[in-house]
Structure 1
C-alpha cells in the first residue's frame, strides 16, 4: 500500500485560499469596471447638458445640473481610485496565495513521481524474479 502525500490537507487549504483570493480579485475587477462605467456615464451626462439658456431660470437649472454632475464626477473619481487600490491589494493577495500553493503542488508532484518510481521498481523486481525463476526451472529441467 502506498503512503499518501503527508501535506495533502495543507495543500487543499492552500488551494482553497488561492481560489478565495481569485474570487476576491474577480470581484475587485468587477467593482473597478463598474466604477469606470459610472464615471464614463457621468462624463457623458456632463457633456450632454445643453449650453444655451433662454432665461435666468433655465440658466440656474443648467448651473445646478453641472455643479451636481461635477460633484458626482469627483465622487466617482474617488471611487475609481479606491477600486484601483482594491484591485492592487487583491492582486497581491492572489499572488501570495498562489506562491504558497505552488510550492506544495511541486512537493506533491515530486511525491507522486517517487511513488510511481517505487511501484515501477517493485513491479520490475517481481518481473525479474519471475524471469530468473523460469530460467532456473528450465535449466534444472534440462539437467534432469
Structure 2
C-alpha cells in the first residue's frame, strides 16, 4: 500500500476558512500517531516544534504556525492544536484495512493561512517518511 492525498472540501464562513485533507497512509494508527502527536514526529514533516506537552490543554508551539494549546487529545486517534495566528489544526486517525490508516486533517483559520500546496507538500513528506 502506498500513501495518497485527497483534497477535501474547502469552505469559507465570513472571515473563517476551513480546509480538509484525507491522507491514506501505509502504516497503522499506532505507528502514525508519533508523527502527528510528538515534537520530533511533527518536526520531521510539518514544522519545527519548540514546545509540545502531550495532554489536553498542554502547551504547543509550532514554529511556522503559532503557539497555543492542545484542545483535543485522544491517544492514537485525535490530536488538535489551537494556535494564535495559525488557527485550529486537527489530526484524526482512523483504521484503513489491516495495516493502513487514514488521517483526516482539518485546518480552520482566519485571514491568510498555509496554502493548499504547502499542506500537500507537507503530507507528501509525511507519506515519504512512513513508506
TM-score clears 0.5: no
Larger radius of gyration: 1
TM-score, normalising length from structure 1?
A: 0.20
Larger helix share, 1 or 2: 1
